[in-house]
Homo-oligomer: A and B are copies of this chain.
Amino acid sequence: MLDIVRQDTEENPSGADRVFTFFRDRLLSGELKAGDRLLGERELALALGVSRPVLREALRSLAMLGLLDIRHGRGAYVRSADASVLGQALTLCLAPEPNILDDVLQARIAIECQAIRLACLRASERDLQAIAALLDTLVDSLDDPETGGGADYAFHLAIVRASGSSALMKIYEAISPLLMRSHVERRRDTFREPAITSGLVEAHRQVFLALAQRDPDEAERRLRAHFAIGDELRRKNLISTYQGQGKAS
Interface residues of A (CB under 8 A from B): 2, 4-7, 16, 20, 24, 27-28, 30, 34, 53, 56-58, 60-61, 63-65, 67, 80-97, 100, 103-104, 106-107, 109-111, 113-115, 118, 150, 153, 163, 165-168, 170-171, 173-177, 180
Give the number of copies in the complex.
2
- By the criterion CB–CB under 8 Å, are A106 and B163 in contact? yes
- By the criterion CB–CB under 8 Å, are B82 and A150 in contact? no
Partner of A65, one of B92, B107, B174: B92
The answer to whether A86 and B90 touch (CB under 8 A), given A53-B53, A103-B167, A167-B104, is yes
Nearest CB on B from A9, distance (A): 11
Partner of A57, one of B57, B106, B177: B57
Nearest CB on B from A220, distance (A): 9
Q: Which 9 A-B pairs have the closest CB atoms?
A: A110-B114, A61-B64, A107-B167, A57-B60, A97-B166, A103-B167, A106-B165, A61-B61, A53-B53
- By the criterion CB–CB under 8 Å, are B107 and A171 in contact? yes
- By the criterion CB–CB under 8 Å, are B114 and A106 in contact? yes
- By the criterion CB–CB under 8 Å, are A107 and B5 in contact? no
The answer to whether A109 and B103 touch (CB under 8 A), given A60-B16, A64-B61, is no
Partner of A153, one of B4, B30, B57: B4
- Taken together as a complex, chains A and B put the C-alpha atoms of A167 and B56 apart, in Å, by 34
**Do most interface residues of chain A lie in helix, strand or loop, or is the interface mixed?**
helix
Partner of A103, one of B60, B91, B165: B165
Nearest CB on B from A73, distance (A): 13
The answer to whether A176 and B84 touch (CB under 8 A), given A28-B95, A100-B167, is no
Known: A4-B173, A30-B96, A94-B170. 15 other contacts (CB 8 A): A2-B180, A6-B84, A27-B92, A27-B95, A28-B91, A30-B95, A57-B57, A57-B60, A57-B61, A60-B60, A61-B64, A65-B89, A80-B96, A83-B93, A103-B168
- By the criterion CB–CB under 8 Å, are A28 and B60 in contact? no
The answer to whether A107 and B61 touch (CB under 8 A), given A89-B86, A92-B24, A93-B85, is no
Nearest CB on B from A45, distance (A): 13
Partner of A5, one of B57, B100, B177: B177
- Interfacial chain B residues near A81, Cβ < 8 Å: 92-97
- By the criterion CB–CB under 8 Å, are B176 and A167 in contact? no
- Interfacial chain B residues near A168, Cβ < 8 Å: 103, 106-107, 110
